Structure 1
Amino acid sequence: MNLSSYSYYDEADYDEYYNNDFDKPCEYNESNSVNSVVGPYIHSIICILGFVGNSLVILTYALYKRSRSIINVFLLNVAIADLLFVMALPFIVYNELHHWPMGQVACKLLRGSYSVNLYSGMLMLACISVDRYIAIVQARRSFRLSHSYVICAVIWVFAFLVSVPTFYFYHRYEPQHHEVTWVNGTEEEETPVAPQYVCEWKFEDSEVAKMVKVAVPSTQLAIGFFLPLIIMIFCYTTVIVILKKAKNLQHHKAVQVALVVVLVFIVCHLPYNLALIYDTVSMFKESSCDEAESLLIAKTVLETFAYLHCCLNPVLYAFIGVKFRNNHRRIF
């Protein structure tokens, strides 16, 4: 919830890749080295921590019936989105490092669900901040419990709708190119590459490709980052101002929690989204190999850092609560 990872590859990209003014195509050796470390090791840690933490949250809310409340409904849906996100991540990482071992339907479902979980998780976090704003600032009950189910359903449907381009344009296919050997800046020989399928963007029309490659990351930035960020900053800032006026020690702890929630969200997601903005703006201008590789490395590292948020959500939103910890102990 990038955050998703985009490897915009299609035949048009390949042709442009070989028909520019450079002596030879970019090799991206350093970025491949970074991927070989980040992919298998760091992503594995994120997947394990995210799976364990979010599974415990779901298990606690599912088994402890008396813990049902409006805020807990949102927290449960955040945990479900994060859990599905980390379950999809290993397959996507394997595809980016090697090839796609499954079929067309699995390709579309995995990439599409990855996008759906990204949007739904972010928007659920925004709903939690709105719920706290209404409960503390306006000093009244927030949504009804039945309303919270409807809101969650609407968010999941909306996340699916904005992910339709991902479902539609991702394909399992065999890239149509050959492996070229370069000697002293000239093409020496061309050998066929063993057929390996990928699960990536594929477009039949270059104009459609340009439109989608701008629209998808722009939508991710607007809905998956800036909208939740603005809502969270407004709601939690107002909450902090109100709680600061109270002399209660418990209220001051709530202020600290609110500050941590916003700061962690910004620290995890802002760097990658700034890189995504730069990448989108400079997508259609010619860049040197060194510049392109630097951007690719930065996106890989910052995107991985953003993934950490799905591991931190259970701690920030669930285990930090006394009631949740008590319910968790009673179950186990």
Structure 2
Amino acid sequence: MNNDTMSNGGLSMGDGPTYLCDLFDFSTITGVFFILIFILSVTVNVLLLCVIFTYETLTNVTNLFVLNLAFSDLVFTSTLPFLATYYLHHWVFGDFLCKFVMAAYFVGLYSSVILLTAMTVDRFIIVVLHKWPNNYVRRQRCAVIVCVAAWCISIGTSFVEAINAKAIHASDTTMTCESISPGNGFQLGAILQLSLLFLLPFAIIVFCYCAILKTVLQSSNRKKYRTVAVVFYIVAAFFICLGPYNVMSLFEGVDAYQTCNVQQSFHIAYHICLILAYSHCCMNPLLYLLSQKLRKHLLHILPCQLLRKKEEERGPTTVIRTAPQTSAIILEMQAQ
């Protein structure tokens, strides 16, 4: 979460040849995007929470996961004003807030990935493994345990990251907030993060959703393709937002040994991937608010008479339900 380390106009990394390049300063653009992501994320996550608390039952397992995921996204989002200031200016908040922001960043990141994976596994069990004994009370208790475990794991892990975080004087007038890891700790940490927080969850998500799609495609209702599209969007958002940044993090600093053109390309690509990674905190609520049921509730909360009238004029709409007792997702026509 630190800016690229500049040394005499170029990037440096230990011993070895270093090319001195006048790289395009991407920090201002990144800071502006962080502000925009912060505004959008707070708006959509708060709206999602309002819909859940107003119209939905909190004892529902899916709503429980969505509720915790929204809070997780908000924790992650809370770091963006600090990081926007960091990129637009420099770190001005001192050592304590450096550790606090670093901890909040990893709490939001880890809990979001764990909860998203848990939601996928829950859907897989309900839709695909429908012949398993389905005790709703037991499933509800397991969901609560998973949510508590997600927060405990993410908070516990964040303490390690917070201890390594430190506000450092980059010059007499500027400071940076960086994670200080001895030796090859950063590279090892990046590899572990890529493996445990992206590759493993993504593999689980892809496997579960492939099985879900197979079940959906076996149903006779042609409206099932709407479900296929929603599933694709969820997986694509997870991969597009988090994938490139996790891969780019492995090569951070290696560009110091490359030509200026390569350094410039890597520098721009890294910041684009960084923006994509942070935008994930507003992607999940946007996808869930695309649900016709949640959109209907949202229109009752917001003063959108014209949009509400258009929604009512559509007449019957397709609602997707999961039935524990049946072998597939049931699609049925229901008047809104």
Answer yes or no: same fold by TM over 0.5: yes
Please give the range of the TM-score, normalised by the shorter of the 2 chains: 0.7 to 0.9
Corresponding residue of 1:29: 23
Root-mean-square deviation over aligned CA pairs: 2.9
Corresponding residue of 1:80: 71
Which one has more relative contact order, counting CA pairs under 8 Å at least 6 apart? 1
Question: Match of 1:311, as an amino acid?
Answer: C
Alignment partner of 2:185 out of 212, 228, 234: 212
Corresponding residue of 1:130: 121
The 2-side partners of 1:324 and 1:68 are apart by: 17
Corresponding residue of 2:286: 315
Q: Deviations over 1:88-131 (max 9, x none)?
A: 11211322342222232211011111011111111211111111
Corresponding residue of 1:54: 45
Q: Does 1:300 align with 2:265?
A: no
Offset, 1:20: 4.9
Question: Match of 2:78, as an amino acid?
Answer: M
The 2-side partners of 1:19 and 1:131 are apart by: 50
Question: Match of 1:253, as an amino acid?
Answer: R
The 1-side partners of 2:209 and 2:47 are apart by: 26
The 1-side partners of 2:4 and 2:36 are apart by: 26
Alignment partner of 2:215 out of 239, 242, 246: 242
Corresponding residue of 1:196: 174
Q: Deviations over 1:11-34 (max 9, x none)?
A: 9xx996697545xx735431x1x2
Figure out how many residues of one structure are paired with residues of the other and give that number.
296
The 2-side partners of 1:93 and 1:46 are apart by: 10
Offset, 1:75: 0.9
Q: TM-score w.r.t. structure 2 length?
A: 0.77
Corresponding residue of 1:95: 86
Give the secondary structure class of the aligned counterpart of 1:243.
Answer: helix
The gaps in structure 2 that reach 5 residues or longer are 303-336
The 1-side partners of 2:176 and 2:239 are apart by: 33
Cα 1:328/1:146, change in 2 over 3 Å: farther
Give aligned-pair identity as a percent. 25
The 1-side partners of 2:217 and 2:191 are apart by: 37
Question: Match of 1:54, as an amino acid?
Answer: N
Q: Does 1:325 align with 2:295?
A: yes
Corresponding residue of 2:36: 45
Give the secondary structure class of the aligned counterpart of 2:93.
Answer: coil
Q: TM-score w.r.t. structure 1 length?
A: 0.78
Cα 1:292/1:213, change in 2 over 3 Å: farther
The gaps in structure 1 that reach 5 residues or longer are 178-193
Question: Match of 2:122, as an amino acid?
Answer: D
Question: Match of 2:187, as an amino acid?
Answer: V
Q: Is the 8 A contact 2:79 2:101 kept in 1?
A: yes
More helix by share: 1
The residue correspondences of 1:149-164 to structure 2 (distance < 5 A) are 149-164=144-159
Q: Is the 8 A contact 1:64 1:331 kept in 2?
A: no
The residue correspondences of 1:222-237 to structure 2 (distance < 5 A) are 222-237=195-210
